């Protein structure tokens, strides 16, 4: 049962993070919240993973959890990439303003 406590502690940390997101997009908050809840279910009722796995055509519950994890990670990378682009765009506008201002000072 030690592993269940450790994993629950980690998930509780995630839950705190979700709550701390404040006013950011509601869809994102709900998606993260659902993910954490499913995480709790899988930690405390590990057999559910096997049941779901068999229903969707995956051999073992552990495999199912791993596949889900891979997909979530990839989605996260795409989201990070888009966030980075937003930052770059803001930086571009800043740099452009500096370039245009410098020439006025000439």
Partner 1 sequence: MTLDLDKVCVIIPAYNEAKMIGKVVEEVRCLFPNVVVIDDCSTDQTMRNAKDAGAHVLQHPINLGQGAALQTGFDYAMAAGASHIVTFDADGQHHIEDVPRMLEALAESGADLALGSRFLGTTVGMTQGRRRLLQAATLFTKLTTGLSLSDCHNGLRVLTAKAVRTLNLRQNRMAHASEILGGIRRHRLNFIEVPVTISYTEYSRQKGQTFSDAFVICRDLIAVKLAS
Summarize as ranges the residues that interact with partner 1 (CB under 8 A): 78, 81-82, 85-86, 88-89, 91-92, 95-96, 98-100, 102-103
The token duo for 40 is 């709790």
The least distance separating partner 1 from the CB of residue 50, rounded to whole angstroms, comes to 35
Residue 85, sorted as left (phi over 0), alpha (psi -120 to 50) or beta, turns out to be alpha
DSSP state of 24: S
The answer to whether 47 and 39 are in contact (CB under 8 A) is no
The answer to whether 66 and 77 are in contact (CB under 8 A) is no
The least distance separating partner 1 from the CB of residue 73, rounded to whole angstroms, comes to 17
Q: Which is nearer to partner 1, 54 or 83 (CB)?
A: 83
Q: Which is nearer to partner 1, 12 or 80 (CB)?
A: 80
Q: Which is nearer to partner 1, 48 or 88 (CB)?
A: 88
């Amino acid at each position: 049962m030690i592993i269940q406590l450790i994993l629950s502690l980690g998930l509780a940390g995630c839950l705190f993070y979700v709550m701390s997101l404040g006013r950011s997009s509601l869809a994102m908050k709900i998606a993260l919240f659902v993910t954490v809840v499913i995480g709790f279910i899988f930690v405390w009722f590990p057999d559910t993973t096997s049941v779901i796995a068999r229903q969707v055509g995956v051999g073992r519950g552990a495999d199912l959890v791993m596949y889900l994890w891979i997909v979530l990670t990839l989605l996260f990378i795409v989201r990070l990439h888009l966030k980075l682009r937003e930052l770059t765009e803001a930086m571009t506008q800043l740099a452009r303003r500096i370039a245009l201002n410098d020439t006025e000072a000439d």
